[in-house]
Structure 1
Amino acid sequence: MEGNASAGGMEDQHRSSHWKAENKHEEKVQDPDRGEDETKAEMGSKTWADLAGEMKMFLWNPEERTCLGRTAKSWGLIFLFYFIFYTCLAGMFAFCLYVMLLTLSPYTPTYRDRVSPPGVMIRPYLNGFTIAFNVSQPSTWQPYVDSMHHFLAAYDDKVQEEKNIECISGQYFIQGGNESEEKKACQFKRSLLQNCSGIEDPTFGYSKGQPCILLKMNRIIGYRPGAGVPVSVDCKVQKGNESNLGAVDFYPGNGTFDLMYYPYYGKHTHVNYTSPLVAMHFTEVKKNYVVPIQCSLNGKGIINNVNSDRFLGRIIFTLNIGK
């Protein structure tokens, strides 16, 4: 009996020790959670005043004399580093830009192999390429007349005689010397436009329903149009009956761009250069009818049949003249 009692006691002791060990293990496992809860409780117990104080201390700590966690020396070293870094970066960029500019001429484009033949433009040009007016209503055509006079002011005979020289017709005006030297320009007097000069008829034919329109080629440095043969101009009805357009008079001469006005040397050296013009006098346009007109350049090297570019070697505009 005593043996059984002692055996039972030993089993109870063993169970008790095992239970205590399990409890200790559970307490150890639960300790981290308790620590987190306690930390959360401590954080939750902070007031807004405490948070504001900590932020203030972060912005400026008088004890450690730090701003945003850094001392004045640390901030100074950071600013010094970035100042030197960006200064060197800007210097490298400026040097590369300077070297690149040394390879470019301000007077002549370096690469001109992809420059297309010249485009053309007309005057007057007011809000579009439709010229519409009524002969009996001067207010409808006067803006066109004013635009023509303003454009031709630089072509006045006196202005051209003062600024430019007389040149030999029918040949290119080649000027050598240093590319930075100022080039001479040939005279183009508005009197060459005859009936479209605005001298004899200040209304350029608009008061009679016979409007004048000026055509000019865009400037291209070094370009020699026509390969030694003057470029001519012709006009036709784009869509419709040719009788709607009738006869067209061209000035000067037979409507050509004289070779003596080429090549053009650029705005830096060809200061007084005035682009040559061809005037088109539409004397028989059908009245009270919309007439679409295409005027084209013709000559060697001229391209005027590119549908995607309506200004390359040609221009399309509309005349709508009322009585």
Structure 2
Amino acid sequence: MKNILLFMFLVSVKIAGQDTIMPLWPKDNIPNHLNSVEKELHEQNEILRISKVQKPTIEVYLPSKLNATGEAVLIFPGGGYRILAYDWEGTDIAKFFNTKGIAAMVVKYRLPSDVSQTNKKFVPLIDAQRAVRLVRSNAEHFNVRPDKIGVIGFSAGGHLAATLGTHFNEKVYEPIDSYDAVSARPDFMALGYPVISFGEITHQGTKENLIGENPSEDLVDYFSNDKQVTELTPATFLMHATDDTVVPVENSLLFYTAVKEKGISATMHIYPKGGHGFGLGLHDGHLKDWGDRMIDWIASLR
């Protein structure tokens, strides 16, 4: 099966050039998937919103070989575990990374569903682990180093990135091929206005969409990622706006404190204004440089 996926990758690169879309899983072997009438939806208005994902993928953006730094970043768009803000916090971010010589992969991960999934609360993490394993296994073909593969997530996508960074070692699905023997640990992670806690300062929609309206205390703690940090959690970059009324800035403060207490390298940029969901922030004079600050931070890890 690994050879089949690799063949699909090579063929799609030959046809599409720089960008290619790869399935995360072999056909008809997607963990926790149920056949149903649910169909994936794409809605384009100011941004592209994708919901009810049935077949998760990674969309690959590669810089030229002459510009490549050898690093790669997997991108998890936000959307409250209800939709994916796929271009705003996904493909636009990937193109930005390419201008800096960094390979980027937008992860179209499954969103929790009572209709098309079993044990839905683990499904986003299942796809996130698989995405890292798939990229790391194909590092040579992407012209990246297998020890320089990071993640970035925004809002609920930041929650997923942080969940991956704290639960990468946990067995949440049965291995299906040789890719699943590869480490799912990100080498670094960046979290943009992330949902971190499922406690009082959470974003209620994100919490309920993932673990329901009346979760157990153990489940709340499991997905409150500030409580799950260990010495193996990757180096972390955080950015947030103080006036975020959707996901309170205290989420980032909690995670920064948690990683700092474990002796993990961390940096944090808190902006006075910006609200929630500002993406690259290109139209705001004091936000538009956060991406460059992140690139500087990634370079410092080399």
Identify whether the pair has TM-score above 0.5, normalized to the shorter chain. Answer: no
Q: Which has the larger radius of gyration?
A: 1
Question: Relative contact order, CA 8 A, sep 6+: which one is greater?
Answer: 1
State the TM-score, normalized to the length of structure 1: 0.23
**Structure with the bigger percentage of helix:** 1
State the TM-score, normalized to the length of structure 2: 0.24
